[in-house]
Amino acid sequence: MREIYLDNSATTAVCREAADKALFVMTECYGNPSSLHYKGLQAQHETERARKSCASLIGCESDEIYFTSGGTESNNTALFGAAGALKKRGRRIVTSLIEHSSVIEAAQKLESDGFDVVFLQPGEDGCVSIESLANAVTADTVLVSLMLVNNETGSIQPVEKIRKIIDKAKAPALIHTDAVQAFGKIPIKVKKLGVDLLSASSHKIHGPKGAGILYVGKGARIVPLLYGGEQQKKIRPGTECVPAICGMGAAVESLPDIKTELSYITELNLYLRERLSEIDNIHINSPHEALPYILNFSLVGIRSETTLHFLEQHNIYVSSGSACAKGKKSHVLSALGLTQQQADSAIRVSFSRLNTKNDIDELVKNLIKANNTLARAR
């Protein structure tokens, strides 16, 4: 039975180029990049190539890229680093209720440490409004953290509007965006976005797990989470995971043209929306303006986990929400005002360049089976 993988927002299959690069580094360039001999210089050269590739993708200088273990570490470093660096200039932090848990929980910890944290409510379109951002940002705001693309619904947040709001409020705030679901999928230029800090992850773009980046723009000062080494200007000390980093670099270099790929994924998204209209009790949770790589819907009346495992029996893999939540109730869907029944039956389909319309046909065929077979359990 053919495998149909539609959970690419959780993780992606590692591309051959990334796997080959990681193996090459592990077996040939295995030196410590901080060592001064030839093997160390080899590893450093490969690491710097990956750094330049990541920098080029988001339009920044290579020395503004810091490698981390992934999106969670990048987000934590951004929030705690910015708050620690600017705490003498203000105590307000502005974020949203639909952020990834690595931002939500970091913000909650800062709140318990005495910071004034504002969690903005999204509108029905899944987006935080400009008005609510403007009302929340005050002169003592030190950080605004707003994700670029939501990991459960694909809603695209108005990150590029934040800089004007901060300037108008005359706040010292740094701007952070969690771009884990946007990196490599939509064109990103950090200067155009106006951000000081940006997080991204390797395993969402067909690279290996265990690598991510944090962009720290020139002029933005943050304090490190870790201590004990001179690596990466002490912002992220410790011996770099060179195989994962170089695998990430190879995955970036192997990305197809972003606009062409986005057009293809948009076709898949629209086709799935069209096919879902054939099924009774379907409620689409992702707004039409969302990133097409993600489509969240509810097969109302059948619990998410039940549908997920029914599809799994037919070698079709989807998600009931963020993989990091491990099946817990979605704080994102709750914030969007879905009914309990809609939230409990939500399914997230997330595409990659490896998916086809045939995958969608198989998915819909088996959703119809699930709807008919499991209807009695409603």
**Which residue numbers are catalytic?**
324
Give the type of residue at 187: P
Among 317, 328, 311, smallest CA distance to 371 is for 311
Q: In what order do the strands lie in the sheet with 282-284?
A: 282-284, 294-299, 346-350
**Helix, strand, or coil here: 323?**
helix
CA dihedral for 188, 100, 84, 165, sign (positive or negative): positive
CA 341 to chain centre: 26
Give the span between the Cα atoms of 363 and 279, in whole angstroms.
Answer: 12
Q: Which residues face 121 on adjacent strands?
A: none
| Tokens matching residue 206 | 């067909």
Place of tokens 């969302």: 290
Give the span between the Cα atoms of 243 and 72, in whole angstroms.
Answer: 19
Helix, strand counts (H, E) of the chain: 13, 12
Q: What is the CA radius of gyration of the chain?
A: 21
Give the span between the Cα atoms of 278 and 51, in whole angstroms.
Answer: 46
State the SS3 of 123-166. CCCCCCCHHHHHHHCCCCEEEEECCCECCCCCCECCHHHHHHHH
